[in-house]
Chains A and B, each alone.
Chain A
Amino acid sequence: MSVLSLIVWIIAYPLITFAIGVLLGGYERKFAARVERRIGPSWIQPFYDVVKLMTKKTNISHGYMHDVAILMLLGGTVLTLYFVPVPGFGYFAQYGDFLVISYLLLIPSLGMALGVGETANPNGSIGISRALQMLAGYEVPFILTFIGVAMKNQTTSMLDLIKIQQAGGIATWGLVAHPLLGVAALIALQGMLNEKPFEVIIAPHEIATGPMTEMAGKYLGIMFIQHLIAVPLELTLYINLFLGGAANWLEYIVKLFVLWTGLISVSMVFGRFRIDSAVKFMWKISLPLAALGVVGIMLNIA
C-alpha cells in the first residue's frame, strides 16, 4: 500500500464510516416510524441533527476534563475503526488483531465516564455506572466467542479470518460453522449497540438520556458523531467474525443493512430491561451459550 493511498484512507475511512452511520441511523428512525405507522423523518436525519448541534451558538463546558474526555470518546472510536478491516483497507489490521480491538473498544466508555463525571449530574452518573455494568455484561461473552473462533481457525488476525471464510464459502461462515458462538455474540452485539432490550444506558424516560444529560451543543454533537461511527464499526466487527467478511463494498453494505435490520427489528418489539435484568440476561443466556460453543470446539463437535 503506497503512502499516498494510506493517507487518503486514513482521512476518508472515518468520513465514509460516518456517512454509512448516518444512513444506518436514518434507516433505524424511518424503520421505527413505519412500524408505528408514521411517515418518519428524513433518511439522513442524523446528519441534520449533527449539523444543528455543531452550529449551536453557546456551548457550555463543565471543565477541562469535560473538554478533553469528549475528544477521547471520539478519538478512541476512530482509533478502533482503523484496526477493523473493510474491503480494500486492511493496512492497520495486519498489525493489530482482535485482542487490540477489544482493548481499544474500552477507551470510548472510559472517556465518556471521565467527561460525564465532571458534569456532576446524578442522572449522568447513573448512566455511566450502567454503561460500565453493561460493559461487564457483554464484553465477557463477546471475548469468549472470539476465543472460540480463534481456537477453531488457529488465528487471532481478523484479516486471516476473513480470508478463511471467503475461501470456504457459506459453510465456513462463523454463524454456520459454530452457531452457538454466533448467537451468543449476536446477543452481546445487541447490548454493545445499546439497542432495546438492553437500552439501559440512555433510557430517556427513566434517567433523562443518562450520560448525555448535561451535554449540549458541540459536546452532544461529538457524542452523536461517535455513536454514528460506532454503529457501523461494531456491525463490521460481527460481519468479519461471523458473516464471512465482505469481498467488495456492495456486499459489505448489503450485509451491514441486513444485520442492522435484524437487530432493530428485535429492538422494535421489546421494552427495556432493568439494568440488573439486562446484565443477568447476558450472563445467564449469552455467556453459557458462548461457553458451550467453546467447549464444543475444544471437543471438535461444532
Chain B
Amino acid sequence: MAKELTQKAAWDRVLAKLKRRSLWMLHYCTGCGAIELPPTMTARYDMERFGIMPMVTPRQADILLITGYLSVKTLKRVILVYEQMQAPKYMVGFGSCTINGGMYWDSYSTIKSLDQYLPVEMYLAGCMPRPEAIITGFNWLIDRVGAGEANSWRDYYENYEFYRKNQEELFGGPVQTYQDIPADGRKFGILEAQR
C-alpha cells in the first residue's frame, strides 16, 4: 500500500527535490583516483551543472569521496572526518580499492572493504572510474537523494556498535574520537525518527 501523503510527507518530498540540486563534496584524496576528479570538475565534464561542488571542510560537506585505497592509519583520519560531517551525509567509495581491496587485496596495511567500518552510500567501481562513470554515479546519487532514499548515514547512528566493533578489531584497541555519536543521535532525534 502506498504511503499516506500527509502534509509533512508532501513538504519533505518538495524539500528533497530542492536538496538534490546542491551536494557539496569533500574529497579525501589519498589514492590515485583523485586524478580523475579535475577533468570531472572542469570544462570537459563540468560537475557543477548538477550542483555538485568541491568544498574544503568536513563541516560543510555532504559527500565524502574516498578516492582509492585506505591504509589502516588513514582510516582513523577518515573516521574523524566522517564524524565531523553533519547529517545527511553520503559516503562514496571510489574505485575498486574501497570495494574489495583492488590491487592491494593481499596487503597487510590496507583495509579491504570500506563498508565494514563506515556506512557507504554508493560505490563507484573501476580502476579507476572514468569521469563518465563518476557523472553517472553521481546522477544516481542525486536521484536517490531526490527520492529521499539515501539514508545510509542513519545506519551509523542506529548500528553504531557494529561499526565500532569492526573499527576496534582493526586497530587492535579503542579509538579516540571527538564526537559522541549515540548522544548526537538522541539529541537531534535521528534514532526516534522512522525511515
Question: Chain A residues with Cβ under 8 A from B107's Cβ?
Answer: none
Measured CB to CB, the closest approach of chain A to B192, in angstroms, equals 12
Measured CB to CB, the closest approach of chain B to A42, in angstroms, equals 7
Question: Chain A residues with Cβ under 8 A from B86's Cβ?
Answer: 56-60, 216-217
Measured CB to CB, the closest approach of chain A to B145, in angstroms, equals 10
How many A-B residue pairs have C-beta atoms within 8 angstroms? Tell me.
84
The answer on a CB contact under 8 Å between B46 and A57 is: no
For chain A, the bracket of interface size reads: 20 to 34
Interface of B (DSSP majority class): loop
Bound form: Cα–Cα A58–B42 in Å: 31
Chain A, residue nearest B154 (CB): A57
Known contacts A40-B49, A58-B87, A48 near B19 by CB under 8 Å: yes
Instruction: Out of A33, A48, A59, A217, name the residue touching B21 (CB < 8 Å).
Output: A48
For chain B, the bracket of interface size reads: 20 to 34
Q: Which of A40-64 contact B (CB under 8 A)?
A: 40-42, 45, 47-49, 51-52, 55-60
Question: Chain A residues with Cβ under 8 A from B10's Cβ?
Answer: none
Measured CB to CB, the closest approach of chain A to B41, in angstroms, equals 9
The answer on a CB contact under 8 Å between B21 and A215 is: no
The answer on a CB contact under 8 Å between B21 and A45 is: yes
Question: Chain B residues with Cβ under 8 A from A87's Cβ?
Answer: none
A145 lies within 8 A of chain B by Cβ: no
B165 lies within 8 A of chain A by Cβ: no
Question: Chain A residues with Cβ under 8 A from B188's Cβ?
Answer: 57-59
Interface residues of B (CB under 8 A from A): 15, 18-19, 21-23, 42-43, 46, 48-49, 51, 53, 56-57, 59-60, 62, 86-88, 184, 188, 190
Given contacts A49-B51, A52-B23, 17 further A-B contacts (CB under 8 A): A33-B49, A38-B42, A38-B43, A39-B46, A39-B49, A40-B49, A41-B49, A47-B18, A48-B19, A48-B22, A56-B87, A57-B86, A57-B87, A59-B86, A60-B59, A208-B57, A220-B59
